[in-house]
Amino acid sequence: MAEYPSASWKDYELLDSGAGEKLERFGAYVLARPEPKALWGKSLSETEWRRLAHTSFTPGAGFGKAGKEDSGTWNRLRKMDDQWHIGYANADGLKMDLRLGLTSFKHVGVFPEQAPNWDYIYRQTTALRERLGRTPRVLNLFAYTGAASLAAKAAGADVTHLDSVRQVVTWARGNMENSGMDGIRWIVEDAMKFARREERRGNRYDGIILDPPAYGHGPDGEKWKLDECLFDMLCTVGKILSPADAFLVLNLYSNGYSALLGETVVRQAMSAGALESGELALNDRFGKALPLSIVVRMTR
């Protein structure tokens, strides 16, 4: 199963991909970035890429090294703002305003292939609120700039947003305010420490979202390595996820992982409900499908 953002999303488009790069339009600006999974040739010429792009990313010396894969610099080709906004809306009523910016790690503050997950979280949370007759509690771990948190909040959830980097939590708070929402609980902490503490306290959540990196560090230097920590994290998460009327979303970007692996690790780590899995991908203008992450979803 492969899922793609809706073609009705006017503020994002993958224009072309190939030769280890992708050419994307975010609102008014076009960016050229490295993409190791784009193993095919480009459909547009190099001249056309340079004509369209406002900026391109050049990897630094750490490119390809664990934990430093995306470090580098942006090369401005045309005038553009350092920060700008795009909107996201779906047919179910979800609306978000997301701030973007050029970071030294290739990212811009949003992963557009995640749009199907935002839609899923919005639908599941809405259904839970109606079925439970109360406000669902949703926990977003490794939450980055918060689009998934906003999707849950827009659907009426009591949302806890956790990330180990204070700057991105501040970024996420700005996205909440720009989207006309409030009341999200913000936590800057190591995800494993928080999950274990919630287990000891007997706290439960009706929805849990995880998008763990391949490598990472907590605010106090805690080390995270996906291959070594994922199973333990899921075992703990299984104990703080409500035993009935609940959902889980696990997203994995690590190379070499598969949907089947994701399903198996979830099934072995917790008392699983109904599972579905697949890939989140982008289609460029020329029909080339670019798979970017593995997603596993569970409902109880």
* pLDDT one digit per residue (tens) for the chain, 300 residues: 899 999 999 999 999 999 999 999 999 999 999 999 999 999 999 999 999 999 999 998 665 555 555 589 999 999 999 999 999 999 999 999 999 999 988 999 999 999 999 999 999 999 999 999 999 999 999 999 999 999 999 999 999 999 999 999 999 999 999 999 999 999 999 999 999 999 999 999 999 999 998 877 788 777 878 989 999 999 999 999 999 999 999 999 987 899 999 999 999 999 878 999 999 999 999 999 999 999 999 999
pLDDT at 68: 52
CA separation for the pair 80, 146 (Å, rounded)? 24
Per-domain residue ranges of the chain: 2-88, 111-299
Q: Do the Cβ atoms of 226 and 236 come closer than 8 Å? A: no
pLDDT at 220: 77
**Pick among 3.40.50.150, 3.40.50.300, 2.60.40.420, 3.40.50.10190: CATH of 111-299:** 3.40.50.150
**Pick among 3.60.20.10, 1.20.1440.230, 2.60.40.1180, 3.40.50.300: CATH of 2-88:** 2.60.40.1180
Global confidence as pTM: 0.94
Eight-state DSSP code of residue 114? G
pLDDT at 70: 58
Token pair 């991908």: residue: 281
Report the run of H or E that residue 232 belongs to, with start and end: helix 226-240
**Same fold? 2-88, 111-299:** no
Angle at the Cα of 29 from the Cα atoms of 25 and 30, rounded to 5 degrees: 50
Eight-state DSSP code of residue 205? B
User: Which ranges of 113-225 does DSSP label H, i.e. alpha helix?
Assistant: 115-132, 147-154, 166-178, 191-201
Query: How far from 85 is each of 28, 37, 111, 165, 193, CA to CA, in Å?
Result: 9, 27, 14, 21, 33
